[in-house]
Structure 1
Amino acid sequence: MARPPRTPKPPRSTSRQPQGLPDRDTLVNYLRETGEADRAAIARAFGLKGADRRALREMLKELEGEGTVARRGRSGFAQVGALPEVGVVDVSERDADGELLVKLVKGEDAPLVILAPDREAEAGQAPGLGDRLLVRFVRLESGEYEARLIKRLGQSAHRILGVIRKGRREVRVEPVDRRVKDSLLLSAEDGEKLRDGDLVLAAVGAQEKRYGPHRGKVLEVVGREDEPRAASLIAIHSHGIPTGFSEAAEAEAEQAEQPTLSGREDLRDVPLITIDPADARDHDDAVYAEPDTDEGNPGGWIVWVAIADVAAYVRSGSALDREARNKGNSVYFPDRVEPMLPERLSNGLCSLREGENRATMAVRMVFGADGRKRSHRFVRGLMRSAAKLSYEQAQAAIDGKPDDKTGPILETILKPLWAAYETMKKGRDARSPVAIESTERKIVIDKEGKVVSITPRTSLEAHRLIEEMMIQANVCAAETLESKRTPLVYRVHDEPSPEKLMNLVDFLSTLNIAWTKGEAPRTERFNRLLDQVRDTPHFDIVNEVVLRTQMQAHYSSDNIGHYGLNLARYAHYTSPIRRYADLIVHRALIRALKLGDDGLTDQDVAMIKDTAERITAAERRAMAAERDATDRYVASFLSDKVGATFQGKITGVTRFGLFVRLADTGADGLVPVSSLGGEFFIHDDRAHALVGERSGARWPLGMNVEVKLTEATPITGGLLFEMLSEPAPPDRTAPRPRLGLRARNDRRPGGGAGRSLDRGPKRGQTEKKQSKKKGSRRR
């Protein structure tokens, strides 16, 4: 791909440029070559002084009026429509295919350009509408430009999502993002068109006074703050989640046809079943197990995992493919799903519905009695699900409570599945993946969109059965593609960094738990640690710190293995309806095994690294949006319980306060350090605790506490608590914090606990003093 020549700098000597006032064509050519220049630079280039400079100003004014030259900022000029090699842009809109379009910040005349991520950039949260970016403009072979991401300069720095608040004299936009503190002031004309409580996307304008609010302009009304489903709506807009589908993509989905046996193996006699959450709308995996009759494998099992053949419907380069790649994955909110594929596919032809013929990419795996996989083969087939079960149904049947649906298949299908899983567990136990415990919460919303309950999700053996069978199928995909030397997108997970391990060792020493410095961070070592503290009061806190020690998994075209699962090669293959990574792996298998003409293309291969970066960014964008929506729904649920008391646990310790997670709902809120009493607290990051400077009283991570809810703000998802419990007593084995200047002054005559101490130190003073003390300890 050709890159435009680097923009030359304006000449420094008069020998490179004719002296004197240039004619119009010469001036335009100069601007074309330099890309952008202000009047002073142009005057220097042509050696202009006095009257010639005034004439230059008039010439630029005329060219601007004719539309030949355009402004760039306050004093810069460029040829109309010109793009620099590198520039600052705003993400301004999406095209019909869902691609983000960017526009130069300093250039009203500049064209909209499609945004593509820079291939050397680290994957992070994907850009969204309203973001400001530094990009490199690259001319493609077609003559058009694309913008390649270099650096993100700020999320929604110049556009905010907010709520209209109408006062007697003014109308303001209050941001829904807790991190944005300043509201925007709207004109009277804009205010008349809006209602109090409207959710709007607004552009940040100029600041009329040095310390006053910025002016704003409403770009779009996206809903109402009192709508029951406002939480997910805010998350979608705040994080730039792509929504809907283009007409072209919808048309392609509607043209999809029922599968036939052509080019497929008939698997309809294999009684595969789906086991999913009770409220699942799409079913992309089915399982079946039977004893292996091979005399050479006594006690062994054959396990089938059949996955929806999405690649048969979403072909590389199609409108469906472009939008699926842009979305990266489906995004799941408590009240809605923003799917990666149109409903015609995601809930139709690609969903393994009970009793209906479906195209599948299946893997047949053979396990020995020791639980280790002996062989596998992939099949492109036609299947028909024998039953659709929920996790709860399947588990109840195994536990001796079958219903009308599970009763007839208990002996023939369910019990063999569980027996196969019992064998597979031997292999998993020998592998020893990291066994961190986590509790998920289920938000139940009624038809009107109101949160009626928040309950912990029960972890069943049925969940673990499906999880292990999917993991093994994913391993088979990676192994097959590696053996065929076919490029693929791996799911990788690095081992903990040395810095994180040192932090863990320091923390464990505060609990008198030994971990030898320099010891290799093997997964079984973490599991031994968790088993060591399982029946002690320290289990929750150690489990939390071990979780924070782990790195974040991501997608990559280069394999480093999956540390958490303790697997040398791993790829996502089992959910192509909702993850683009799995679709790429399916296409790679089709190409490697010569199972059709709809496999991975040469262009797909060339873009494999870029695809891995894109879908990693999309995954993290989705996670952030889902987390924000959940926080808002939880705050909405608790908004009528302000003043109530709750039992909770300290799950985060920072310089500015304690994060507490409520036991009943799993809601997280903040206890500000200023509300903890009249003492100055030091943040001991080694022990994950706030420590009283005078008394040594401690607020450690993992401590069970009682709190009172003082504030719940559904629009931002914020919760504030007041601490009702007493702190833990001083740790006599820990070094006593030195008395700071503030505490020593308190001992002087008349220097008792005054008003400022009751309110707590100012944040700036707190951070300054804490950082100083932490530094002295480290030295």
Structure 2
Amino acid sequence: MTDSRFPTKDAVLALIRSSATPVGKREIARAFKLSGSDHREQLKDLLRELEADGAVERGRNKRVAPPQSLPEVAVLEISGVDSDGEAQARPLTWTGEDAPPRIFLLPERKGAPPLSVGDRLLAKLARINDRLYEARIIRRIEGASESRVLGVYRPAADGGRITPTDRRNRTEFFVLPSNRGDAEADDLVLADILPAGRLGLPQARVVDRFGSTAEPRAISLIAIHTHGLPTVFPHGALREAELASVPSLVGREDLRAIPFVTIDGADARDFDDAVWAEADSDPANPDGWRLIVAIADVSYYVRPGSSLDRAAYERGNSVYFPDRVVPMLPEALSNGLCSLRPNEDRACLAFQLWIDRNGALIRHRLTRGLMRSAARLTYEQVQNCHEGRADDATGPLADTVIAPLYGAYARLWEARVRRRTLDLDLPERRVVVDERGRVGDIATRVRLDSHRLIEEFMIAANVAAAEVLEARSMPGLFRVHDRPSMDKMETLRAFLTGIGLTLPKGEALKPEHFTRILRRVEGTPDSQLVSEVILRAQAQAAYSPDNIGHFGLALPRYAHFTSPIRRYADLIVHRALIRALNLGVGGLDDAAMERLTEIGDHLSATERRAATAERDAVDRFTAAHLADRVGARFAGRVSGVTRFGLFIRLNDSGADGLVPISALPDDRYEHDEAAHALVGQRTGTRYRLSAPVMVILVEADPLTGSTLFRLADSSA
């Protein structure tokens, strides 16, 4: 039976903390009027537990005081990296007034995935001195992000409140004055969720602040921290990037006389691919073309196992927001030595590709070279030049460079049409921000032939890369896209039947089956609806060492080769090609070859993380753009139907928002999943995917990205 007179741990700890000097068992026993051998043994056990917890520290005279030490076993959080690129950790529950001691992590088992900032783990600690500990990892803790909240801090009379930026989290958190850190009113903060009490709001402790939410940059910061994107490079990686230089011609082909051009968007931050083409002079290939796709030689600068390599692998890919980029590589490389700037020597890997008059790839050769771009052009400039509106930059290149590019593209496009690929040309939102980071406009991106030209050149180079890997039996990463699942196909068939369209049964589905349906609805009100439903039925593309082909592109083999500045998967392919063809330093190492499945899974996950973060940021920028137009009317279409309401996409900006089911005209609505519709049981009113609607803006919150509408009338 528990002795009710014996103090709790918290009571003893409060006494120790309130004392100006260390206290011993005698002072504790006197303060709580403890006597007898049973109480002495209980107190001894209690103090041992407090020591093991790290709550108190015992000195040489066996007296105890508030700790400046850590427990033997503790939950740690990865807080950053040191100058050598090694992970640094901090105790999750540090309460000292000074900064917590440094914690050095002992290596994990060979092959363990790298640690990322924000990861949490259970570790056994060994004290080296007052300010340094050694930690041996016991296990990693999954779901750590659930114990933190990103939100907006606002002061209150009794402390403060944090409102989460996640629109799905409606919980408000209470912050004691002692837990606010240096947060100010309307700051964006990251906070630990504290153990729940019995009454009142859940509590949180601010652990980091990112500045005022009034600043436009807060929008992308929310996306960055919500999705745990690494933003700080290790000192070792930065040092390696800054010390890099352009290689000599030793072991390289001199391509500097070829007038390569880069063609990118006007807002592009890096240029990792350059192109050139000419009519093939070989009589054996009449009406054929020779084209070269030159790609920055990132593998020369980022070597396996280096600090740069570890940092790039952790990120997996660059992430692009309207107002910034979270790059995979430090700026000295991504915007410097690996960016194919005009009139500057650059190391490259270049595929020479020969296509016949039908656009078929008949042979190819990969070389490691040194190139020099002749011009940095935009899609709009190249398209205008092709249509007879050349400017000062494109005029001198019109006949000798740009016209041949379109000549080769025409053949490749014809081959694509014959291949009957799945072409879902869905609208894409483009957020335009001004110099201060504020939204100036939101528009749908225009698709030009110049965009398709570059895409077809890149696809040809990617196919060549995959063919080399297979021909040389070289392990690498393929970009794979599986056939749609049977369950999704049955759902799609049911929907298409409902609008008078059919999808064949009893035969292997091919991309051309979907393309035929898209052609039938082209130019009709159902066009976008059918495109979106077909897209939702597709499998997700991924990276894998096991080649199953690319269903959407109708290609038996495909690898990502053309963007190693921003995709680690492409860097793996470069290394594999270098090793397979014996092209020099920077080839794929044995350790990576053994982990290709794991690497592919990791890169598929970082790609999905980036896409989600980019989409969330666009939603928030869009909400910011609409915030001062509450009450305005907009034309749109139903872009999604769920049991809790309708998603609406506005015609002019492509902005998405929700009409909650509670805001629909009074009725009881059933969700017809197969028909993608909400159906009123009393009135028979149907709200169907892609139906035109007029809506009124009710709410637009940039911090959560939440945009709410109500119907302007009941017709849909």
Q: TM-score range by the shorter chain?
A: 0.7 to 0.9
SS of the aligned residue for 1:236 comes to helix
* 1:670 maps to 2:658: yes
How far residue 248 of structure 1 moved from its aligned partner, in angstroms, is 1.2
Residue type of the alignment partner of 1:200: V
Which residue of the partner structure matches residue 128 of structure 2?
A: none
- 1:161 is matched with which residue: 142, 150, 153? 150
Instruction: Provide the residue aligned with 1:544 in structure 2.
Output: 532
Distance 1:98 1:298 in 2: 55
Q: Equivalent residue for 2:11?
A: none
Determine if contact 1:99/1:114 at 8 Å carries over to the other structure: no
Structure 1 residues 717-746: Cα deviation after superposition (integer angstroms, max 9, x where no partner): 100001113244xxxxxxxxxxxxxxxxxx
CA distance in 2, matches of 1:70, 1:261: 63
Residues 642-662 of structure 1: CA distance to partner in whole angstroms, max 9, x if unpaired?
000001110110111000011
Letter of the 1:229 counterpart = R
* Deviates most, 234-243 or 252-261: 252-261
- 1:16 corresponds to which residue? none
Identity of aligned residues (%): 47
Contact 1:561 1:568 in 2 (8 A): yes
Which residue is equivalent to 2:678?
A: 690
Residue number in structure 1 paired with 2:163: 174
Deviations 1:337-374 (A, max 9, x none): 11111111111111111111111100001101111110
Write the mapping of 1:276-675 to structure 2, written as runs, cut at 5 A. 276-675=264-663
In the alignment, the residues of structure 1 paired with residue 244 and residue 398 of structure 2 have an alpha-carbon distance, to the nearest angstrom, of 36
The aligned amino acid for 1:407 is G
Match of 1:244 among 232, 235, 238: 232
CA 1:114/1:158 → structure 2, altered by over 3 Å: closer, same or farther? farther
Of the three residues 150, 157, 175, the one matched with 1:186 is 175
Deviation of 1:618 (Å)? 1.3
Amino acid corresponding to residue 653 of structure 1 in structure 2: V
State the secondary structure of the residue aligned to 1:439: coil
Shift of residue 551, structure 1, vs aligned partner: 1.2
Q: What is the CA RMSD across the aligned residues, in angstroms?
A: 3.1
CA distance in 1, matches of 2:665, 2:112: 49
Tell me which amino acid in the other structure corresponds to 1:159: R
- 1:93 is matched with which residue? 79
* Structure-2 separation of matches of 1:56 and 1:168: 45
Classify the secondary structure of the residue corresponding to 2:203: strand
Deviation per CA, 1:22-43: give whole Å up to 9, x if none. xxxxxxxxxxxxxxxxxxxxxx
2:263 to 268, 275, 288: 275
For residue 398 of structure 2, give the secondary structure of its aligned residue in structure 1: helix
Are residues 169 and 366 of structure 1, via their aligned partners in 2, closer, same or farther at CA, if it must alter by over 3 Å?
same
Q: Is the 8 A contact 2:648 2:657 kept in 1?
A: yes
CA–CA distance in 2 between the matches of 1:135 and 1:190? 25
Deviation by residue 1:372-400 (Cα, 9 ceiling, x = unmatched): 11000100011111121111000000001
Equivalent runs, 1:728-767 vs 2, <5 Å: 728=716
Report matched runs for 1:63-78 at 5 Å.
63-64=48-49, 67=52
Indicate the residue corresponding to 1:680 in structure 2. Answer: 668
**Which letter does structure 2 place at the counterpart of 1:623?**
A
**2:251 is equivalent to residue 263 of structure 1:** yes
Q: Which one-letter code corresponds to 1:685 in the other structure?
A: E
Whole-angstrom distance in 1 between the partners of 2:505 and 2:364: 41
Deviation at residue 118 of structure 1 after TM alignment? 12
Q: In the alignment, residue 163 of structure 1 is paired with which amino acid?
A: V
Distance 1:622 1:118 in 2: 28
CA contact (8 A) 1:63 1:69 kept: no
Q: How much has 1:315 moved relative to structure 2?
A: 0.9
From 191, 202, 212, give the equivalent of 1:202. Answer: 191
What residue ranges of structure 1 are gaps of 5+ in the alignment? 1-50, 72-78, 84-88, 138-142, 729-779
Deviation at 1:148, TM superposition (A): 7.1
Asked if the contact 1:645–1:709 (Cα under 8 Å) also holds between the matched residues in 2, the reply is yes
CA displacement 1:271-294 (0-9 Å, x = unmatched): 211111112221110111111111
Q: Please, which moves more after superposition, 96-105 or 632-641?
A: 96-105
What is residue 44 of structure 1 aligned with on the other side?
A: none
Distance change (3 Å), C-alpha of 1:500 and 1:145? farther
User: How far 1:199 sits from its partner (Å)?
Assistant: 0.9
Letter in 2 for 1:175: P
Deviation at 1:65, TM superposition (A): 5.5
* Post-superposition offset of 1:566: 1.2
Q: Distance in 2 between the 1:157 and 1:422 partners?
A: 52
Code of the aligned partner of 1:635: A
TM superposition shift of 1:144 = 8.0
- How many Å separate the matches in 1 of 2:530 and 2:45? 68
Supply the AA of the counterpart residue of 1:167.
A
Secondary structure class of the residue paired with 2:636? strand
What is the CA distance between 1:588 and its match in structure 2? 0.9
More off after superposition, 183-192 vs 331-340? 183-192
Residue 535 of structure 2: SS of its match in structure 1?
A: helix
Question: Which shifted more, 453-462 or 532-541?
Answer: 532-541
Paired residues of 2:641 and 2:678 also in contact (CA < 8 A): yes
Letter of the structure 1 residue corresponding to residue 169 of structure 2 = V
Structure 1 CA distance for aligned equivalents of residues 312 and 606 of structure 2? 11
What secondary structure does 2:194 align onto? strand
User: Distance between the aligned counterparts of 1:722 and 1:90, measured in 2?
Assistant: 47
Q: CA deviation at 1:573?
A: 0.6
1:214 aligned counterpart, secondary structure: coil
Q: Look up the equivalent residue of 2:161 and give its one-letter code.
A: R
Q: How many angstroms apart in 2 are the aligned matches of 1:117 and 1:68?
A: 27
Instruction: Quote how far apart the aligned CAs of 1:104 are.
Output: 9.5
How far 1:558 sits from its partner (Å)? 1.6
CA distance in 1 between partners of 2:225 and 2:103 (Å)? 24
Moved more, 623-632 or 522-531: 623-632
**Distance in 2 separating the partners of 1:104 and 1:564:** 48
Kept in 1, the 8 Å contact 2:163–2:173? The answer is yes
Question: CA 1:135–1:659 in structure 2 vs 1: closer, same or farther (change >3 Å)?
Answer: farther
1:471/1:190 Cα in 2 relative to 1: closer, same or farther (>3 Å)? Answer: same
Q: Secondary structure of the residue that 1:639 maps to in structure 2?
A: helix
Q: CA offset at residue 189 of structure 1? A: 3.8
CA distance in 2, matches of 1:54, 1:500: 68
- Provide the TM-score with structure 1 as the length reference: 0.79
Note the C-alpha offset of 1:509: 1.5
Distance 1:673 1:432, change over 3 A: same
Q: Secondary structure at the match of 1:610?
A: helix
- Asked whether the 8 Å contact 2:183–2:189 carries over to 1, the reply is no
**Which has the higher mean CA deviation after the structures are superposed, 634-643 or 244-253?**
244-253
Aligned AA for 1:632? R
Q: Which amino acid aligns with 1:247?
A: H
Mapped to 1, the partners of 2:669 and 2:37 lie a distance apart of 67
Q: Is the 8 A contact 2:116 2:314 kept in 1?
A: no
Which string of whole-angstrom CA distances, capped at 9 and with x for unpartnered residues, describes residues 306-325 of structure 1?
Answer: 00111111111111111011
Q: For residues 311 and 710 of structure 2, what CA distance do their matches in structure 1 show?
A: 46
Contact 2:293 2:352 in 1 (8 A): yes
- 2:173 maps to amino acid: L
Q: Say if 1:81 and 1:111, in contact at 8 Å, map to a contact too.
A: no
